[in-house]
Structure 1
Amino acid sequence: MEVVITDHPEQVMADIIAGAVRGGARTLGLATGSSPLPTYRELIRRHNDDGLSFAGVNAVLLDEYVGLPPTHPESYARFIRDNFTNHVDLGDVYSPDGMAPDSSAAADAYDARIAEVGPVDVQILGIGSNGHIGFNEPSSSLTSRTRIKTLTAKTREDNARFFDDDLSQVPMHVITQGLGTISDAKHLALVATGAGKAEAVAAAVEGPLTASCPASILQWHRRATVVVDPAAASKLTAADYYRYVYANKPR
């Protein structure tokens, strides 16, 4: 695992994604939420100003709320289009069907679709304050596949800000890629900023590999990068070492 501590996580993340795209990547895994937004803005800037093209590249989303149509302002299908994919020349964008009458069947179908268009070259990830990635809440199987998950009270409370601080409007269930599905990607790139993510980052990077911290699955992955600002890195005991390694990284 590579840990990058930087004042500009969006630049490092954009470098990772742009490098993969220019190197022939065919499928990107896109995360939603606030953490990757600066990265998407930087990629849009590079597309407009520097000629970064996503032509021929498809994308798959991590998750979707059950019961929200894709036109809902807080659906992730809508979020990713409003904040990224409608602004670049990306190809097809696939996401779980949160309105399917049979959510379990929809989850299975989406897992099959990811396998069909994959493997994912770079999977962008955020991290929840309880260590979740995607919507794999604590206790998620480390080999889980795409499935329905019940959100914890903490996650729903954290996300209420997107629903006018009305907890009753936050869906209870989601369809999410599992940790096993996520781990099929060639490269996992997790971004976190702010002191509120510091404990989760420390648990994921330096704690045990455990279902109690789903993001710790990155420790088991053949190629994982964690990009954090100094505040999110504030509880890492080996922060100086990570800085030293990155500063002396071979070309």
Structure 2
Amino acid sequence: DITTTDPEGEAERYGKLLRENPTDIVVMGIGENGHIAFNDPPVADFKDPKTVKPVKLDEICRQQQVNDGCFVRIEDVPTHAMTLTVPTLVSAPYLFCIVPAPTKAKAVYETLNGTIDEHCPASILRLQKNAILYLDDKSSALL
């Protein structure tokens, strides 16, 4: 419920639904700062006990929403969002990660070659045998 005045309560309500009806397939991308879903580096937690949580969006993530054409101006981009947590995302039996665009090349490089930690949340995908990464020539330019 986007009109909620209780983000924590809404996250728990939605998390309960997901725990009762687990996700079979996750289709995701990688953000310019290495985020997956809205798990930006400042809030990503590979051992997060929650299923869904409210988060404050990182400025890089907010600017990406403008760069991607989702919003016209940064002032229009919400400062907070709900996100599935990293453990929830990677618990699905099938993970498909689709990453086009030259603005993602550095994040793709860090995902595949950097340290596996929350500084690049997408790096967790390297530990998932069920993850398939689809890149284009621009997003893979630094590989």
Asked whether the two chains share a fold, i.e. TM above 0.5, the reply is yes
Aligned residues: 138
Larger radius of gyration: 1
CA RMSD across the alignment:
1.3
2:85 is equivalent to residue 178 of structure 1: yes
TM-score by length of 2: 0.90
Aligned to 2:119: 212
Shift of 1:206: 2.0
- Which residue in the other structure is 1:40 paired with? none
* 1:68-113: CA deviation from partner (whole Å, max 9, x where unpaired): xxxxxxxxxxxxxxxxxxxxxxxxxxxxx22212100111111111
Q: Per-residue deviation at 1:194?
A: 1.8
Equivalents in 2 of 1:163, 1:204: separation in Å?
A: 26
Unaligned runs of 5+ in 1: 1-96, 237-251
Structure 2 segments unaligned to the other structure (5+ residues): none
Which of 120, 125, 128 in structure 1 is aligned with 2:28? 125
Q: How does 1:19-168 map to 2 (within 5 A)?
A: 97-118=1-22, 120-139=23-42, 140-144=44-48, 145=50, 146-160=52-66, 161-164=69-72, 166-168=73-75
More helix by percentage: 1
Q: Which runs of 4+ in 1 moved over 4 A?
A: none
TM-score, normalising length from structure 1? Answer: 0.53
Percent identical pairs in the alignment equals 29
Query: For 1:211-234, what per-residue CA distance to the aligned partner results, in whole angstroms no more than 9, with x for missing partners?
Result: 000011111223111000111111
Relative contact order (alpha carbons < 8 A, sep ≥ 6): 1 or 2 greater? Answer: 2
Q: For each residue in 1:127-183, what CA deviation from the matched residue of structure 2 results, as whole angstroms up to 9, or x when unmatched? A: 11000010000031112231011111111122134222x222211000100001111
Q: Distance in 2 between matches of 1:217 and 1:111?
A: 21
